[in-house]
Amino acid sequence: MKALIRKELRENLKFAVPGFLIFSLLLYNSYSAAESQPLVSPRFLGPVELVCNLFGLILGWFQVYPEKNRDLWAFLIHRPLTQTQIFLAKAIAGLMVYCIAMGLPMLALVVVASRPGQFASPFEWAMVWPVGGIFPMGAVWYFAGLLMGLRQARWYASRGLILIAALCIYMLAGIQPAGLPGFWQEPVMIIAGIVLFAAATWGAFQSCGTDEGQPAWGRRAVVLSLTVGLTLLGLCSQILFEVLLHGSLRSDFTYFQITKDGVICKVVEKADGSSEITDLSGSPLPDPNTRREASLADFDRLVAPGYPLNVDFGDQSQVRALLRPDTRFYSSCKTIDRIHWYWTRAGNLAGYDTSTRLLADTIKPDESVAADDHFLRAQMSSPTDPENSKQKSSVILATARHVWEVNLEGRKSLILFTAPDGDVIGGARSVGDLGFVVVTRNLIEMLDMDGKLIWKTTYKSSNPDAIWVRVSRLAGAQKYAVWLGPYQAANRNNEVEDRSYSQVLFVSGESGLISETTLPANKRYAAGLSFWLSALFVPPAPLFYFLLGWKGASLILLLTKISFGMAIVCALAGWWLGRRYQFSKGTQIKWAIFHLLAGLPGFIAFLSVQEWPARETCPHCKQLRVVNRAKCEHCGESFAPAQKDGTEIFEGLTEDCPIQA
Amino acid sequence: MPSSFNIEVSTGSSTPIYKQITDQVRMAVASGRLSVADQLPSVRALAEELVVNPNTVARAYADLAREGIIEARQGRGVFIIQKRKVFSRAEARRRLEPLMDALIGEAFALDFTPDELKDAVVNKLEQLQNEKKSAA
Amino acid sequence: MSAKDELVIHTRGLTRYFGATPGVYELNLDVPRGGVFAFLGRNGSGKSTTIRMLLGLLEPTRGEAEILGCNIRRLTPEIRARIGYLTEEHQVYGWMSVRQCGEFQSQFYPRWNDKIFRGVIDHFSLKPDARAKNLSRGERAGLCLALTLAPDPELLILDDPTLGLDPVARRSLVESMIALTRRADRTIFFSTHQIDDLERVADYVAVLDKSVMRACCRLESFRENIRQVRVQFAGKPPELPTIPGLLQVMRNGTSLRLLCVRYNDDTEHLLRTLKPLEIETSPVNLSDCLVSYLGARGEKSFILSEMEAHS
């Protein structure tokens, strides 16, 4: 087997070398162009991911496909090795090539980045996790490429489906449906992907790429791969239907805004590009200049400046932040005096000199803050367009108990606001250069930059863990509108109404809360025909999972019913086919369970992978019988030997012929 | 094997290869090119020289042995032996009959007169006699 | 030792369908140990399919087969080490040199005999440092033969080995096959279209006709069973009754030329009922035997004479 590995390595050198060079070039380019830590910057990680995955795919494909010539394949297979060993030899060699071509440059970059003075940004060893996730993903694409190259495509799409399946797994590794702990999804998906494609490839090696003669686990893996690919296609089919039926993808987009005069308006941006702007009573908003109906461009001039806050008392923002690799570790702040400041997980502000790229200084405003504890709850904003040079170099920082003003130049921090006992700050931000707004569990307050109160009000939030807040500055002295809205999680269970903001509080500096308005609810996107049609293409199994998590969502329930109905139809069709082609009882039952879980995509995969033997008329009982059984399933007769035509010559082969010396 | 005797076989003939070998050996013995105690190549050697299956050569040698023309001596090789009279006179004449028919038929087809044919036969016999004498 | 132990290949009802058409139908083939077994048939009659099934490269639709006593669906590495397989395309990895091919292959086989490898290489006059992709077809055939023979296989399976080879390479290949028969326990199983090589080298022959085996016997038996019969008539020859074993019949003016299997007294009796002037039988050369056996049964006429008649 070692000889085979060596031969594979030698053959695939022609990919390793260019891959290594291209990748090294890419990394060097990023290294010299990077301003902050490349290991966590999405602009760097994006191309790296693309190169790794593409390289894996190409490597896998070309390791097998050129050898698919019938006789060259026979040359490979017919030697004293089991087909499993041949598969392992190819896989080991391929993975070695991948590690050398992709792994070595990445390792070099990690080593370089870990040394101080290379990048003007924080570094910790945990930052290796993002690339640590990208690197093995290439192995999933490698096995997918290997499988694609190996399979004998009976219909063109069966190879393409594997590509789509790999894409699906790649997307699942990155997308975060609510409720899953963010960190484990990627490794789990990668391992699942590798196991799936490797098992399918191993099975394909046993049967030389055909679907017949595959061992059971190989066949199951292939069916699962095709199902995953078909599912993604099915999900995308909704988009296709949408485009076919409506001609575009957009639907109406409705939101609320407020003018400088304090009039709340409802804006509907339609799918055809036009827009409708009305006030809350429904009458269209006139343009004060032209007296005609205001267009969107005109309206933008009338809108009051708004300052949104992400307010979070719980862990929602942590999950959100994990989506972006850089915000997992630090938040980028400001650059003052050629020192770039970051808020880090250690609970402090770290400044890096942009010329020497070394750590210049750290400021820890809140000594009581434990590392990582309040990292993401510390929100920063900077006063905009300040004339005051003092404010130019300062930053507003909110932790759970205080709002700080941190002077980055002088390295001094000042408490501007302290939450009352028992209360917790959820967020704060500056409002222009007029001051800042802070939101606690009970209060919303606005203070000026010296810490003096401008206005404050209490509020009622429907969701205790998180709310959306936006402060709009109206015309007139110290007049503001405060928008409040429930967070995404609350919307989830409410499938009819979709509320971004639900109420507006009018406040002023003199009188505090003036008035309150409740905003009407938006209708949620009504599911059209395309939506229901695409339900046919989605397997029931993932929908069952969503149903468990999203209790009471009747839309999902209906979707599941349609999908499951389709699955039952498929199971029945599969049962009928099984009887016609003489599957064993055990096989029938297993396939029926599979069809109930996998629906239409699984059924199509089943049709493509299963062997469908031809059927002939049995001369004895005159019924159609399958040709892959020795005995007729109806009457038990064996197949008739070939018709003789009188010219057969069969004579014993056992006569001896003496050979003399 | 005596240098003057070479077996040649050709494919694509109506005569099987083994029969070509036996015919040629028989002809050689009859014409005196091979005499008693001459050695023929071993089965394997002849097979490799003619590029034919050894079993073919073995069958030829077996037939020749059955007719009493050759004999295999253990460990030493294959030798021509005295052709024993295996056939009775009548049987021998019966075997000759079709060959004579063929010869005469062919000669007449080629417009030989009976006298010309007789001359040709006599000449041929003389020629063989001379060859035998010079080989001895 | 029962007769079955002496069978290197044994199939029972081996069948393979391509879609709804059988490529190989109910094949019952027994190949005895020792000797050279030729496997014949027209293109597309199922020879390559059978060989690929026997070597575990293609899954049979139904039926059983054993090669060297091992079920073909579960060939072990140990059995594969004892079988040599030469394909018709003589494929090797083009980037390897002749010597590297030998070194590569030798690491898989415990019984690799380097003398045999070098012997065959020299026989075909190959340079050890030549790259495989630069070799001519005949040279590549020699290289593949060397790679196949060096592990000293018990059973050598050749799928149309002389296809596309020049006469010198062909002759070298046939010589190598004969040299292999030095050992009585070595068997060669090969498929071919070259009737000359077949005549030289085969002990046994099996004939496939449109996925069905029609003959399996010794080569001499095959020849002896087919005879040419010339039937002379006074005038135009009459219509023929059904003659058992008839392969072909050709009309030539006032005579008929028949090729028959197992021509015996009964057949002669049947012909005599047509009241011919003369019936004459003669043996047939192997080429004509095979062409008529492999061709379509029944009456044949010369295409060219038809064309002349109509013009």
pLDDT for res A394: 76
Q: Across the interface, do C286 and B11 touch by the CB < 8 Å criterion? A: yes
Domain with CATH 3.40.50.300 in chain C: 3-210
- Look up the CATH number of domain C224-310: 3.30.70
Residues 6+ away with beta carbon under 8 Å from A246: A271, A528, A530
pLDDT for res A470: 85
Q: Across the interface, do C175 and B51 touch by the CB < 8 Å criterion? A: yes
Q: Report how many helices (DSSP H) and strands (DSSP E) chain A contains, helices first.
A: 17, 25
Contacts with B14 from chain C: Cβ below 8 Å: 282-285
pLDDT band at C302 (very low <50, low <70, confident <90, very high): low
Q: Show the tokens assigned to C130.
A: 């030549």
**Secondary structure (3-state) at A456:** strand
- Buried b / exposed e along A395-417 (16+ C-beta atoms within 10 A): bbbbbbbbbbbbbbeeeebeebb
pLDDT for res A144: 92
**Secondary structure (3-state) at A220:** helix
pLDDT tens by residue, A209-240: 787 778 888 888 888 988 888 888 877 877 77
Nearest to C294 by CA among A515, A73, A649: A649
Residue A61 Cα, gap to closest chain C Cα (Å): 17
Q: Across the interface, do A650 and C216 touch by the CB < 8 Å criterion? A: yes
Contacts with C287 from chain B: Cβ below 8 Å: 12
Residue A195 CB: number of other CB atoms within 10 A? Answer: 13
Amino acid identity, position B7 = I
The mean per-residue pLDDT over the stretch A485-499 comes to 54
CB of C43 less than 8 A from some CB of A: no
SS3 content of chain B, % helix, strand, coil (to 5): 60, 5, 35
Report CA-CA distances (Å) from A142 to A54, A138, A193, A536.
Answer: 9, 6, 10, 31
Contacts with C220 from chain B: Cβ below 8 Å: 16, 18, 59
Phi, psi of C128 (to 5 degrees): -60, -25
Q: Across the interface, do B55 and A659 touch by the CB < 8 Å criterion? A: yes
Residue C189 has pLDDT above 80, yes or no: yes
The mean per-residue pLDDT over the stretch C307-311 comes to 61
Whole-angstrom distance, CA of residue C17 vs CA of residue C73? 16
Q: What is the mean pLDDT of chain C?
A: 88
Q: What is the mean pLDDT of chain A?
A: 78
Q: Where are the alpha helices (DSSP H) in A78-215?
A: 83-98, 104-114, 128-150, 157-174, 182-206
Whole-angstrom distance, CA of residue A182 vs CA of residue A180? 6
E strands in A441-502: 443-447, 453-458, 466-473, 479-486, 497-498
Contact C279, C272 (CB under 8 A): yes
Contacts with A630 from chain C: Cβ below 8 Å: 13, 62-63
First to last CA, chain A: 44
Q: Across the interface, do C212 and A642 touch by the CB < 8 Å criterion? A: yes
Nearest to A657 among B55, B77, B78 (CB): B55
Q: What DSSP string runs through A194-214?
A: HHHHHHHHHHHHHTTT-STT-
pLDDT band at A400 (very low <50, low <70, confident <90, very high): confident
Q: Across the interface, do B72 and A661 touch by the CB < 8 Å criterion? A: yes
Question: Which range has the worst mean pLDDT, A41-45, A179-183, C171-175?
Answer: A179-183
pLDDT tens by residue, C247-287: 888 888 888 888 989 888 888 888 888 888 888 888 898 99
Contact A624, A617 (CB under 8 A): yes
pTM for the model stands at 0.83
The mean per-residue pLDDT over the stretch B22-34 comes to 85
pLDDT tens by residue, A11-32: 888 888 888 888 888 888 877 7
- Look up the CATH number of domain B17-80: 1.10.10.10
Report CA-CA distances (Å) from C234 to A93, C254, C256, C277.
Answer: 80, 7, 11, 6
Q: Where are the alpha helices (DSSP H) in chain C?
A: 47-54, 77-81, 98-106, 114-123, 137-149, 167-180, 195-201, 219-225, 265-272, 286-294, 303-310
Residue B134 Cα, gap to closest chain C Cα (Å): 35
Q: Where are the alpha helices (DSSP H) in A309-427?
A: 316-322, 389-392
**pLDDT, greater one: A49 or A366:** A49
Q: Across the interface, do C178 and B47 touch by the CB < 8 Å criterion? A: yes
**Secondary structure (3-state) at A356:** coil
- Interface with chain A: mutation pick from B21, B39, B43, B71, highest number of A CBs within 10 Å: B43
Q: How far is CA A128 from the centre of its chain?
A: 20
Q: Show the tokens assigned to A62.
A: 């070309």
Residue A165 CB: number of other CB atoms within 10 A? Answer: 28
Residue C5 has pLDDT above 70, yes or no: no
pLDDT tens by residue, B68-121: 888 888 888 888 886 655 667 888 888 888 889 999 999 999 999 999 999 999
Nearest to A495 by CA among A554, A441, A430, A446: A554
Contacts with A657 from chain B: Cβ below 8 Å: 55, 58-59, 62
Whole-angstrom distance, CA of residue A87 vs CA of residue A97? 15
**Secondary structure (3-state) at C117:** helix
Instruction: Kindly identify which residue of chain C lies nearest to residue B12, measuring between CA atoms.
Output: C285
Whole-angstrom distance, CA of residue C37 vs CA of residue C198? 9
Report CA-CA distances (Å) from B31 to A348, B117, B125, B135.
Answer: 118, 20, 9, 10
Q: How far is CA A217 from the centre of its chain?
A: 28
The interface pTM score, or ipTM, of the predicted complex is: 0.87
Nearest to C215 among A2, A72, A650 (CB): A650
The mean per-residue pLDDT over the stretch C86-109 comes to 90
pLDDT for res B50: 92
CB of B60 less than 8 A from some CB of A: no
Q: What percent of chain A has pLDDT over 90?
A: 9
Contact A402, A451 (CB under 8 A): no
Domain with CATH 3.30.70 in chain C: 224-310
CB of B41 less than 8 A from some CB of A: no
Residue C178 Cα, gap to closest chain B Cα (Å): 6
Domain spanning C3-210: which CATH class is it, in words? alpha beta
CB of B16 less than 8 A from some CB of C: yes
Instruction: Kindly identify which residue of chain C lies nearest to residue A651, measuring between CA atoms.
Output: C217
Contact A307, A437 (CB under 8 A): yes
Q: Across the interface, do A2 and C58 touch by the CB < 8 Å criterion? A: no
Q: How many A×C Cβ pairs under 8 Å?
A: 135
Whole-angstrom distance, CA of residue A536 vs CA of residue A547? 17
Q: Across the interface, do B54 and C179 touch by the CB < 8 Å criterion? A: no
Phi, psi of C201 (to 5 degrees): -115, -15
Q: Per-domain residue ranges for chain B?
A: 17-80, 89-135
pLDDT tens by residue, A238-255: 777 777 766 666 667 778
Whole-angstrom distance, CA of residue C224 vs CA of residue C221? 5
Report CA-CA distances (Å) from B18 to A29, A658, C241.
Answer: 80, 14, 36
Sign of the torsion formed by the C-alpha atoms of A143, A146, A151 and A153: positive
Nearest to A649 among C15, C25, C217 (CB): C217
pLDDT for res A551: 56
The highest-confidence range among A126-130, A242-246, A610-614, by mean pLDDT, is: A610-614
Question: Which residues, numbered 629 to 658 in chain A, qualify as contacts with chain B under a Cβ-Cβ cut-off of 8 Å?
Answer: 657-658
CATH domain A306-523 topology: Neuraminidase (2.120.10)
Estimate the crossing angle of helix A157-174 against helix A128-150, to 10 degrees. 170
**pLDDT, greater one: A602 or A558:** A602
**Secondary structure (3-state) at A585:** helix
pLDDT tens by residue, C204-218: 999 998 889 999 999
Report CA-CA distances (Å) from A336 to A344, A347, B18.
Answer: 17, 20, 105
**pLDDT, greater one: B76 or C192:** C192
Whole-angstrom distance, CA of residue C76 vs CA of residue A81? 8
Whole-angstrom distance, CA of residue A179 vs CA of residue A165? 24
Q: Where are the alpha helices (DSSP H) in A207-292?
A: 216-246
Q: Which helix (H) or strand (E) holds B66?
A: helix B54-67
Nearest to A12 by CA among A66, A67, A59, A48: A59
Report CA-CA distances (Å) from A291 to A129, A288, B87.
Answer: 59, 5, 138
The mean per-residue pLDDT over the stretch A165-186 comes to 65
pLDDT for res C2: 43
Q: How far is CA C180 from the centre of its chain?
A: 17
Tell me the pairing of strands C204-209 and C62-67. Answer: unpaired
Whole-angstrom distance, CA of residue B30 vs CA of residue B83? 10
Q: Across the interface, do C57 and A208 touch by the CB < 8 Å criterion? A: yes
The mean per-residue pLDDT over the stretch C180-192 comes to 89
Q: Per-domain residue ranges for chain A?
A: 2-154, 263-302, 306-523, 529-615
CB of B47 less than 8 A from some CB of C: yes
Whole-angstrom distance, CA of residue A382 vs CA of residue A388? 13
Sign of the torsion formed by the C-alpha atoms of A191, A193, A194 and A195: positive
Q: What DSSP string runs through C126-144?
A: --TT-BGGGS-HHHHHHHH
pLDDT tens by residue, A314-355: 555 544 555 566 666 777 777 777 888 887 777 778 888 877
Nearest to C17 among A614, A645, A646 (CB): A614
pLDDT for res A349: 82
The mean per-residue pLDDT over the stretch C85-98 comes to 88
Instruction: Kindly identify which residue of chain C lies nearest to residue B49, measuring between CA atoms.
Output: C175
Residue C147 has pLDDT above 90, yes or no: yes
The mean per-residue pLDDT over the stretch A425-439 comes to 80
